[in-house]
Homo-oligomer: A and B are copies of this chain.
């Protein structure tokens, strides 16, 4: 079965992926840190039982105890956006429900009792929301989520109160980044109740021009309105990015040189750091989108972006390798994937 990021989807030239996440808590249990170890185990079991009734076709669910995993395996899931860094770091009593293609991941005993998450390649807010909603309904009917008529869903942190919904799109904005237009963009989307930041959340450097755009407001707004707002702003950013790319292409030979050299690095390097890998993949993805490079499928480029992190490339070894070995393994993996596609 193909991974979720290998699906074809609209707007893949600019939108890497869509994520819907619902924060939910069981009404009958204490919230967050007030939950005892026994109660956490009990919640894990209840979630598993509740989900055994759902039918997802081939995309069956696995139930993974976090403390049974290697740290490197957990870190790989962080790199692939399946779980949060905090969830990986404190595995005790935590359960991950993961579908075979990785499109569904439910973190049990994260900050909230449940974080229900659906990932989709490209721009697919509606599809992702519908699946997330279905999982929410099944779980709610079995577990009974904490809900207040006036406030909406109750959450551990007040920033999630209301819809408990975080909808986000991962955008590839090398054009806007080159044109130094990201900070102005951040100001603009801020005024529209959205936030834009580098991959893996605030504070991280933005390598490879990958930005996450997400809704900020969960209180006093419907899910539908939040998602429509996000969708509209995304459409405008896509337009701006396409214009910025056209502007870059005015210096066509210099641009082609950069793109082909990046392609040459990925095809030939024997040592590839995570940062250089992300950076060259970024240029190659833009080159493919602009038809200035050979048509490498987006499924391949998505795979490389998501599975070349330091933990992901070391997963088979069961531990993080030394940096030079990691860079060698990464370079070999990238060449192999590009050769196959």
A interface residues, Cβ below 8 angstroms from B: 253-254, 256-257, 260-261, 263-265, 267-271, 324, 328, 331
Least CB distance, A218 to chain B, in whole angstroms: 47
Neighbouring B residues of A256 by C-beta, 8 Å: 270
- Shortest distance between the CB of A32 and any CB in chain B (Å): 47
A257 touches which one: B257, B261, B269 (CB < 8 A)? Answer: B269
Contact B269 A264 (CB under 8 A): yes
Complex contact A254–B268 (CB within 8 A): no
Listed by A's residue number, 11 A-B pairs whose Cβ atoms lie within 8 Å are A254-B271, A256-B270, A257-B269, A257-B331, A260-B269, A261-B264, A261-B265, A264-B265, A264-B268, A264-B269, A267-B268
Partner of A328, one of B253, B265, B270: B253
Question: How many Å from the CB of A286 to the closest CB on chain B?
Answer: 15
CA distance A264 to B270 in the complex (A): 11
Q: Which residues of B contact A271 (CB under 8 A)?
A: 253-254, 257
Contact status B269-A261, CB under 8 Å: yes
Contact indicator B268/A261 (Cβ below 8 Å) = yes
Closest 8 CB pairs between A and B?
A: A264-B264, A264-B268, A257-B270, A260-B268, A257-B271, A256-B270, A253-B328, A260-B270
Cα A270 to Cα B253 with chains together (Å): 7
Query: Could you tell me the distance in whole angstroms from the C-beta of A296 to the nearest C-beta in chain B?
Result: 14
A261 to B331, CA, bound (A): 11
User: Once the chains are docked, how many angstroms separate the CA of A302 from the CA of B86?
Assistant: 58
Q: Besides A253-B271, A261-B265, 5 other CB < 8 A contacts?
A: A253-B324, A254-B271, A257-B271, A260-B268, A264-B264
